[in-house]
Chain A
Amino acid sequence: MTKKNWPLYEVFVRGKRGLNHVHVGSLHAADDEMALHNARDVYTRRNEGVSIWVVRADHITASSPGEKDPFFAPAGDKVYRHPTFYAIPEDVPHL
């Protein structure tokens, strides 16, 4: 039998209700269900989470670090997207 390694999964945990799932690390598992169980045993031994997502690492599409400046450049020159861009007299309330 040819040696087949278990695929890599990335693990995301929701710490408590009201928070986003946050990436906590990765693990190997033979299938999705085992990934979920392993994630519980490896990453939530002390009640660190109320919900877990696991996703095959090869199913993730990521921006390339090499082109990070050009990729995020469109947001760079749009200061008018921030509230501090607008001058409002200080005595006007609730703005």
Chain B
Amino acid sequence: MDGLETQFDETIAADQRIEPRDWMPEAYRKTLIRQIAQHAHSEIIGMQPEGNWILRAPSLRRKAILLAKVQDEAGHGMYLYAAAETLGVDREELTEKLIESKQKYSSIFNYPTLTYADIGVIGWLVDGAAICNQVPLCRCSYGPYARAMIRICKEESFHQRQGYELLLAMVNGTDAQREMVQESTNRWWWPSLMMFGPPDADSPNTQQSMAWGIKRHTNDELRQRFVDMTVPQAAALGITLPDPGLVWNEERSAHDYTEPDWTEFKAVIAGSGPCNAQRIAHRRRAHESGSWVREAAVAYAEKQAAKQEAAA
């Protein structure tokens, strides 16, 4: 083993951070690029299901909140693309890979937002699950990713709370509103559980990622944490989680729960979810119809620079 690799291993063993210009194993760099890009794409694609309700949010207050949240998702995407770029890839290249379906994003965003209650449930369950996943990433061994995650986690807390508050308002409303919240919870519960990825036995990269300090907990550990956290929140809303197998296990001091349908998970990842084609088509359209703006900005910048040079 050469000196560079020893230095890398020692930095990881001492729980110190790897920084952009440090030497790192090629597989470490590749794993990070894949994970950070996938994460960035999720933030950007995640703007679509929620953006769907901005015009139809029921009050100016709710519109302003939703608009701020969707803008945050764009910001999170930007933090993450910036972190990925420190590993020697280009944002433009990552966007191309996304719209050519060569890189993935979280399966959750391939489900449609059918009712306004979905906006509340996404904040509560989807952002709640995202927080469970993301808090440990604030201690990720790669410095720029960890720092981006710290910023993101601070903002996610607003996302989750606005969703829960929205649901509280609805469950304290009419019977129809309560039913809407229950129906939405029924649809989002299983896809939310899938957000933690496949069961540990079926997650071949987990061990290496944990050894590198990229991941701090296994998928199943995080999923369990999410279930235990969510049960009392559902009770406070007076909502039933749609799993008859969900019971407290005294011995484990944790809830037993039913596994989501992993066949469905694999199908959605492979591209057959209800909205995969729509999400990518929309992203591609936005990217392509925005190209003249990007080109015009460059032309303007060049013209201004030439003018300044002539004047100097």
Contacts and interface: CB of A to CB of B under 8 A. Distances in A.
Contact of A8 (B85, B147, B297): B85
B82 A5 contact: no
Interface string B67-81: 010011001001100
A73 B300 CA distance: 47
Q: B-side binding surface: helix, strand, loop or mixed?
A: helix
Given A5-B92, A27-B82, A42-B78, A64 B21 contact: yes
A45 B75 contact: yes
Interface in A1-37: 1, 4-6, 8, 24-28, 30-31, 34
A10 to B, nearest CB: 9
A42 B298 contact: no
Given A31-B301, A34-B297, A62 B85 contact: no
B298 A30 contact: yes
Contacts of B304: 31
Nearest to A48: B151
A83 interface: no
A23 B127 CA distance: 27
A4 B301 CA distance: 12
A6 B294 contact: yes
B71 A45 contact: yes
Interface of B: 19, 21-23, 68, 71-72, 75, 78-79, 82-83, 85-86, 90-92, 144, 147-148, 151, 155, 294-295, 297-298, 300-301, 304-305
Interface of A: 1, 4-6, 8, 24-28, 30-31, 34, 41-42, 45-46, 62, 64-66
